[in-house]
Amino acid sequence: MTKIYICAGTGCTSSGSRKVANRLRSELASKDVKAEICVTGCHGFCEQGPIVIIEPADIFYCRVQEEDVEEIVDRTLLKGEIVEKLLYKDPLTQEPIKNYRDISFYKLQHRVVLGNCGHIDPEDIDDYLQKEGYAGLKKALTTMTREEVIAEVKKSGLRGRGGAGFPTGLKWEFAYKSPGPKKYVVCNADEGDPGAFMDRSILEGDPHAVIEGMAIAAYAIGADEGYIYVRAEYPLATERLRIAISQAEDKGYLGENIFGSGFNFTLHIKAGAGAFVCGEETALLMSIEGNRGMPRVRPPFPAVKGLWEKPTNINNVETYANVPVILRKGADWYSSIGTEKSKGTKVFALTGKVKNTGLAEVPMGITMRQIIFDIGEGIQNNKQFKAVQIGGPSGGCLPAELLDLPVDYDSLVQAGAMMGSGGLVVMDEDTCMVDVAKFFLNFTQSESCGKCTPCREGTKRMLEILTRITEGKGKMEDIDLLERLGKVIKSTALCGLGQTAPNPVLTTLKYFRNEYEAHIRDKKCPAGVCQALIKYEILADKCTGCTRCARNCPTNAISGKVKEPHVIDQEKCIKCGTCFEKCKFAAIIKG
Amino acid sequence: MSKCLGSSQELEQHKEKDLQLEELLAKYREQKGALIPVLQQAQEIYGYLPENVLRRIGQALNIPISKIYGVVTFYAQFHLKPRGKYVIRVCQGTACHVRGGSTVLKEIQNLLQIKAGETTPDLKFTLESVACLGACGLAPVMMVNDDTHGRLTKEAIAKILAQYK
């Protein structure tokens, strides 16, 4: 039977996919068409949402609106025709593409973790079971010892997907070896890096994979209780998790004596309350316990002393979601993907000034160029690529020279960035790198919990210096000062947030030093972003004297007679850019 | 007369809310780590966290008010002042930043004549800026209560706000 998949991830929902689904239901009923509707999680190609896939014909429709539904039913479902205007068009050739596997955005992807996202109904456990769901847990519980499970995960080479890339199997082993009758597993779903949304999509699209991964971890380390700490900003993900947990309980995959093995596991959801620092593991535990989410000194690590002082294993969403498939298909299969030291795949959130935005899951070791120019199909509006910011506020900005860098944990650290959670924000020639550095510092500074001095005071001083530079009041010594401060904060801050906070500044200083110098020495912002350094001028030979700019200027800074060239009084100009926008003759330049 | 009726209705609503709070406290009294979920749900009942509510929570859970104040002021989600019927959260994350998120914020500030962190005098809108809403594929983005609005332009904003009355 024909099956229609409609994406209901956050992206597509905001583009109107619920209306599409409702209209489709009523159209199918009124025309008595037999087809099954499956409302799924995220397909990853959020830019093109709402996305509708029709199988078995394998038709991929994008940007589908309510009004298009009737045509889809009448033509595609009833007559087997294709509605060409809804197909994705190749941006280069404008050729319509029917099957999504042929779209370059999907072609290079290797979907392991996102394999089910977009292909199952996340609110129906039977869909997950049809895709071999809970088979990994069953295998672990009924055929393997706890030690064997840990050995398998170690052998797979899986490393933490949320930050520094610590080997997952090793982490489990520490918690396993910690003595005590009571242990916990915790899932870090406090995805807070600006520009990252893979964890949200996994939770929304395939919540059972995370639950299964956590249950396997719990069995391995000897825990019987778990917590998923979800960001407050993710209401849909929380709701889907709630449904998934209750369905898993009903089917006996959570609760007591799972698969008759004597293993018990209960899982709770904790909603975060809005603090970026809670993504740090010790802060997250403090928050679950009901305190201010402030990190503490490690050691002792959570594996020894974690939640309520008990041994605790913490991994993030994507890490747990990798576990079921490792158990099901084996460590050898898993470790055949990726590079020597970075195994498996990584999901990247590709955003910014790139043509195709969305989630891309690729084997580790693929180059940045392939991700941005093949999957992402290059830069929007024919602009030049300038930098890619990887790893959120803890990461760095990498320049065009490093586009052929293989994307794995170690190469990125060497380049001064880090994998982090895998946010990739692409920047073009119109992006000012000093402004970007200031943006991140502003973020970490306001999210700093204030416990340790280097982070609390140091980031504030760095931000002051950057602000000064973007206002044209910088001194050349400021560059050295920034570098020195950055190094001190890196080596002395208490937790990961502080230790990595200087990265965006240090990498932009390393790769885009000339932009800092232009701001300081020439009092110019080459990208034309920093307001205080922009100057608007009217070109006398192009100005027709239409008076449009003068009429719209909020401070009456523009004067001139009708049909004669106008001038801007720089003293009065507040650089709002209104005249620049309003001029119909391109007579105003920004410099 | 009508004014009288209004205030007795308000009184009823207050009582109703206080009852809900007591039920909530009874449910969580024995649980460890209950403070944050209790604060979250109390805020859902009252719309914000008034001082007397915090004191009552402290009493019931046996937590000093100083610690509760510490927790409430640590997390961005908690509010000590009344909030608007619609909470607008404008994303200022990286992806939105490079695609004009600050223009969006400015435009809303202009339209509503309030700054980020403030509420309109008629308690209709509260405006907040947030670090990332995780809908970067649709940048620039904002949320109004639980609805996400993406691919925003200056022109689209007034239309979207007009939907909320």
Tens digits of pLDDT across chain A (591 residues): 899 999 988 888 888 899 999 999 999 999 999 999 999 988 889 888 899 999 888 899 999 999 999 999 999 999 999 999 999 998 878 899 999 889 989 999 999 999 999 999 999 999 999 999 999 999 999 999 999 999 999 999 999 998 789 999 999 999 999 999 999 999 999 998 888 889 999 999 999 999 999 999 999 999 999 999 999 888 889 999 999 999 999 999 999 999 999 999 999 999 999 899 999 999 999 999 999 999 999 999 999 999 999 999 999 999 999 999 999 999 999 999 999 999 999 999 999 899 998 999 999 999 999 999 999 999 999 899 999 999 888 889 999 999 999 999 999 999 988 888 889 999 999 999 999 999 999 999 989 999 999 999 999 999 999 999 999 999 999 999 999 999 999 999 999 999 999 999 999 999 999 999 999 999 999 998 898 898 899 999 999 999 999 998 888 899 999 999 999 999 888 887 888 988 999 999 887
Closest chain A residue by Cα to residue B148: A14
Q: Is the pLDDT of residue B70 over 50?
A: yes
**Tell me, what's the ipTM?**
0.86
Is B148's CB within 8 Å of A427's CB?
no
Q: Is the pLDDT of residue B99 over 90?
A: no
At which residue do the structure tokens 């509420």 appear?
B119
User: What is the per-residue pLDDT for A47?
Assistant: 83
Query: Cβ of A13 under 8 Å from any chain B Cβ?
Result: yes
Q: Which amino acid is at B131?
A: A
- Cα B135 to its chain centre, rounded Å, is 20
Is A194's CB within 8 Å of B95's CB?
yes
Is B98's CB within 8 Å of A431's CB?
yes
Half-sphere exposure of A30 (CA within 13 A, CB side): 10
Rounded Cα gap, residues A281 and A216, in angstroms: 20
Look up residue A95 and give its two tokens.
Answer: 């050729």
Is B137's CB within 8 Å of A276's CB?
no
Rounded Cα gap, residues B49 and B36, in angstroms: 12
Q: Which amino acid is at A211?
A: I
Nearest CB to B149: which of A14, A47, A425?
A: A14
Rounded Cα gap, residues A32 and A26, in angstroms: 10
Give the residues across from A451 on adjacent strands: none
Is residue B163 exposed (0-12), middle (13-18) or buried (19+ Cβ within 10 Å)?
exposed
The torsion angles phi and psi of A298, rounded to 5 degrees, stand at -115, 145
Phi-psi region of A118 (alpha: psi -120 to 50; beta: other; left: phi over 0): left
Chain A window 449-478: which residues touch B at a Cβ cutoff of 8 Å? 449
Q: Specify whether the CB–CB gap between A38 and A3 falls below 8 A.
A: yes
Look up residue A476 and give its two tokens.
Answer: 């050349």
Closest chain A residue by Cα to residue B149: A14
Rounded Cα gap, residues A264 and B140, in angstroms: 45
Q: Which residue from A207, A231, A8 is spatially nearest to B93, judged by alpha carbons?
A: A231
Q: Specify whether the CB–CB gap between B157 and B165 falls below 8 A.
A: no
Rounded Cα gap, residues B21 and B29, in angstroms: 12
CA triple A519-A351-A274, angle to 5 deg? 90
Is B148's CB within 8 Å of A13's CB?
yes
The torsion angles phi and psi of A406, rounded to 5 degrees, stand at -70, 140
- Positive/negative CA dihedral, B14, B20, B21, B22: positive
Rounded Cα gap, residues B96 and B98, in angstroms: 6
> In chain A, what residues touch B76 (CB-CB under 8 Å)?
273-275
At which residue do the structure tokens 């498939």 appear?
A325
CA triple A79-A84-A89, angle to 5 deg? 150
Q: What does the DSSP assignment read for B143-154? A: EETTEEE-S--H
> In chain A, what residues touch B89 (CB-CB under 8 Å)?
233
Closest chain A residue by Cα to residue B72: A292
Strands A536-538 and A567-568: unpaired
At which residue do the structure tokens 């929304």 appear?
A204
Nearest CB to A352: which of B36, B98, B147?
A: B98
Query: Cβ of A423 under 8 Å from any chain B Cβ?
Result: yes
Query: Cβ of A580 under 8 Å from any chain B Cβ?
Result: no
Rounded Cα gap, residues A63 and A54, in angstroms: 14
DSSP A83: -
Q: Specify whether the CB–CB gap between A585 and A548 falls below 8 A.
A: no
Share of chain B above pLDDT 90, in %: 65
Is B95's CB within 8 Å of A195's CB?
yes
Nearest CB to A233: which of B32, B74, B134?
A: B134
Is B135's CB within 8 Å of A352's CB?
no
Q: Is the pLDDT of residue B2 over 80?
A: no
Q: Specify whether the CB–CB gap between A244 and A122 falls below 8 A.
A: yes
User: What is the per-residue pLDDT for A217?
Assistant: 98
Give the residues across from A588 on adjacent strands: A538
| Predicted confidence (pLDDT) per residue in B3-61, tens digit | 445 567 778 888 999 999 999 999 999 888 999 999 999 999 998 999 999 999 999 99
Closest chain B residue by Cα to residue A356: B137
Phi-psi region of A539 (alpha: psi -120 to 50; beta: other; left: phi over 0): beta
Nearest CB to B77: which of A232, A276, A427?
A: A232
CA triple A137-A143-A148, angle to 5 deg? 85
> In chain A, what residues touch B49 (CB-CB under 8 Å)?
none
Look up residue A372 and give its two tokens.
Answer: 């941005």
Q: What does the DSSP assignment read for B34-86? A: -HHHHHHHHHHHHSS--HHHHHHHHHHHT--HHHHHHHHHHSTT--SS---SE
> In chain A, what residues touch B94 (CB-CB under 8 Å)?
194-195, 351-352, 389, 392, 423, 425, 436, 439-440
| Predicted confidence (pLDDT) per residue in A11-45, tens digit | 888 888 999 999 999 999 999 999 999 999 888 89
User: What is the per-residue pLDDT for B6?
Assistant: 57
Nearest CB to B135: which of A14, A235, A287?
A: A14
Q: What does the DSSP assignment read for A104-170? A: HHHHT---STTSSTTTS-TT-HHHHHHTTTTHHHHHHHHH--HHHHHHHHHHHT-B-SSSS--BHHH
Identify from A425, A439, A531, A576 which residue to disrupt to test chain B contact, counting B C-beta atoms within 10 A and taking the largest count.
A425
Rounded Cα gap, residues A542 and B15, in angstroms: 70
Rounded Cα gap, residues A344 and A470, in angstroms: 41
User: What is the per-residue pLDDT for A154?
Assistant: 98
- Positive/negative CA dihedral, B133, B136, B137, B139: positive
Query: Cβ of A194 under 8 Å from any chain B Cβ?
Result: yes
Q: Specify whether the CB–CB gap between A55 and A66 falls below 8 A.
A: no
Rounded Cα gap, residues A394 and B20, in angstroms: 42
At which residue do the structure tokens 């910011």 appear?
A389
User: What is the per-residue pLDDT for B43?
Assistant: 95
| Predicted confidence (pLDDT) per residue in B136-149, tens digit | 888 899 999 888 89
Q: Specify whether the CB–CB gap between A346 and A359 falls below 8 A.
A: no
- Positive/negative CA dihedral, A508, A509, A510, A511: positive
Rounded Cα gap, residues A368 and A404, in angstroms: 6
Half-sphere exposure of B127 (CA within 13 A, CB side): 18
Three-state SS sequence of A5-46: EEECCHHHHHCCHHHHHHHHHHHHHHCCCCCEEEEECCCCCH
User: What is the per-residue pLDDT for A194?
Assistant: 80
Coil, helix or strand for A354?
Answer: strand
Nearest CB to B131: which of A194, A289, A423?
A: A194
Look up residue A7 and give its two tokens.
Answer: 């994406």
Q: Which residues of B touch A (CB under 8 A)?
A: 32-37, 39-40, 70-71, 74-78, 89, 93-95, 97-99, 130-139, 141, 146-151
User: What is the per-residue pLDDT for B3?
Assistant: 45
Nearest CB to A351: which of B36, B40, B136?
A: B136
Give the residues across from A56 on adjacent strands: none
Rounded Cα gap, residues A41 and A24, in angstroms: 18
Q: Is the pLDDT of residue B64 over 50?
A: yes
Identify from B29, B61, B89, B138 which residue to disrupt to test chain A contact, counting A C-beta atoms within 10 A and taking the largest count.
B138
> In chain B, what residues touch A279 (CB-CB under 8 Å)?
none
Helix, strand, coil share (%) of chain B residues, nearest 5: 55, 10, 35
Coil, helix or strand for A204?
Answer: helix
CA triple A561-A567-A572, angle to 5 deg? 115
Look up residue A196 and give its two tokens.
Answer: 């990252």
